[in-house]
């Protein structure tokens, strides 16, 4: 077994259709010999595109990366609804597709931009009474999932070739593009399901430099894959960095909550979540807030990396 300490960070994978997210995790785990591998947001087997894999200590970054925006390219099929809201499900309703023009579709789509309420698909990993919704749906158990608020930052209709149309969407964490497709289809008076879905970006990452699933076969080179790993220090590029010395780093890893005086150069105007760095190592993620005593800034450690 290879040393887990070497493979720490983030690996970007371009997932293919028909391959599950778990299968991508399994292949990377086997090639690198790393026990701890997770991901920052799964993709359905029919979907393709960016899968952000977290290796070793990188799994601690999950809540920070999961919270980032996602961007997708999707194709909808109008006039046909399925129980899963995508092409893998059974057809439950068909309707004629009236003549639609691109301008009309774009006008209807604009109503979905902003904060919207969305019902998750019955065939989803959302828990209902402690059980995954898809497990209950497969058993034919009726579900009434609660609406949740999500944010559609941008929705652009690229083409309309009835009965299909192609769009791109920038959205918040927790958004189901399948539900968006169904809701948009209903607004157009025809219903719809998702024919294809490709994730283009997730948080700070895009498909640039992503490893193809085809390159994760049994003959994949361990060394070549390791060269593609994004170090922990670079995994959250939008966060400010604060430097700590070796002694402070050791103390933080032992449970110490540092003060401003422990940071090289202080905090200055920095607020919110920051990276605490020693050399090329990510020591911790901390939250900079105003102290209730004298309104001085303090650092509350959120995650520690060894």
- Indicate if 44 belongs to the active site: yes
Q: CA 46 to CA 214: how far, in whole Å? A: 16
Where are the CATH 2.30.130.10 domain residues in the chain? 239-304
pLDDT at 52 over 50: yes
Mention every residue, 6+ apart, whose C-beta is less than 8 A from residue 176.
85, 118, 120, 121, 124
d(CA 243, CA 254): 17
Q: Is 29 left (phi over 0), alpha (psi -120 to 50) or beta?
A: alpha
Closest CA to 25 of 51, 1, 46, 49: 51
**Closest alpha carbon to 77 in 36, 54, 46, 52:** 46
CATH homologous superfamily for 9-65+207-231? Pseudouridine synthase (3.30.2350.10)
> Residue 123 in contact with residue 83, Cβ under 8 Å?
yes
Of the chain, the percentage scoring pLDDT greater than 90 comes to 68
What pLDDT digit, counting tens, does each position of 276-296 carry?
Answer: 999 999 999 999 876 655 556
For residues 126 and 68, the model is more confident at: 68
Topology of the domain covering 70-202: Pseudouridine synthase (3.30.2350)
Please give the average per-residue pLDDT across 220-245, as a whole number.
Answer: 90
Helix (H, G, I), strand (E, B) or coil at 64: helix
Question: Each residue of 91-108: pLDDT tens digit?
Answer: 999 999 988 999 999 999
> With the C-alpha atoms ordered 18, 22, 23, 25, is the resulting torsion angle positive or negative?
positive
Phi, psi of 77 (to 5 degrees): -110, 110
Counting Cβ atoms within 10 Å, is residue 77 exposed (0-12), middle (13-18) or buried (19+)?
A: buried
CATH number of 239-304: 2.30.130.10
Tokens of 260: 């401003």
Catalytic residue among 3, 4, 14, 44: 44
pLDDT at 70 over 80: yes
H or E element in which residue 157 lies: strand 148-161
Q: Express each pLDDT in 119-133 by its tens digit.
A: 877 766 677 566 676
Per-residue confidence (pLDDT) for residue 219, from 0 to 100:
75
| Residue with more model confidence, 263 or 126 | 263
296 within 8 A of 290, measured Cβ to Cβ: yes
Residue 101: what pLDDT?
92
Question: Where does CATH 3.30.2350.10 sit in the chain?
Answer: 9-65+207-231, 70-202
Which tens digit of pLDDT belongs to each residue from 291-302?
655 556 788 999
Residue 267 confidence (pLDDT): 63
In degrees and rounded to multiples of 5, residue 304 shows phi and psi of: -115, 140
Percent of the chain with pLDDT over 70: 89
Does pLDDT of 110 surpass 80? Answer: yes
Instruction: Please tell me the predicted confidence (pLDDT) of residue 7.
Output: 83
- Higher-confidence residue of 248 and 132: namely 248
* This prediction's pTM: 0.89
């Amino acid at each position: 077994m290879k040393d887990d300490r070497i493979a720490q960070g983030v690996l970007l994978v371009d997932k293919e259709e028909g391959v599950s997210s778990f299968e991508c995790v399994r292949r990377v785990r086997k090639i690198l010999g790393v026990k701890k591998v997770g991901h920052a947001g799964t993709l359905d087997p029919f979907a393709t595109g960016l899968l952000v894999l977290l290796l070793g200590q990188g799994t601690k970054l999950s809540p920070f990366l999961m919270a980032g925006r996602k961007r997708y390219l999707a194709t909808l099929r109008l006039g046909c609804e399925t129980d899963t809201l995508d092409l893998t499900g059974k057809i439950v309703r068909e309707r004629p597709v009236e003549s639609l023009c691109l301008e009309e579709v774009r006008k209807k789509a604009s109503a979905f931009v902003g904060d919207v309420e969305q019902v998750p698909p019955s065939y989803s990993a959302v828990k209902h009474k402690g059980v995954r919704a898809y497990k209950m749906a497969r058993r034919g158990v009726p579900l009434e999932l609660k609406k949740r608020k999500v944010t559609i930052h941008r929705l652009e209709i690229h083409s309309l070739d009835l009965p299909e149309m192609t769009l791109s969407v920038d959205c918040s964490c927790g958004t189901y593009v399948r539900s968006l497709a169904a809701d948009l289809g209903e607004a157009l008076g025809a219903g719809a399901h998702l024919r294809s879905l490709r994730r283009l970006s997730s948080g700070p990452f895009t498909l640039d430099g992503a490893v193809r699933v085809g390159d994760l076969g049994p003959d994949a080179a361990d060394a070549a894959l390791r060269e593609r790993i994004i170090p922990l220090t670079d995994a959250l590029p939008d966060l400010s960095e604060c430097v700590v010395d070796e002694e402070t780093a050791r103390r933080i890893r032992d449970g110490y909550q540092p003060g401003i005086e422990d940071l090289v150069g202080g905090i200055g105007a920095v607020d919110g979540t920051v990276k605490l760095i020693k050399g090329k190592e990510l020591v911790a993620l901390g939250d900079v807030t105003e102290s209730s005593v004298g309104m001085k800034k303090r650092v509350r450690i959120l995650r520690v990396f060894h």
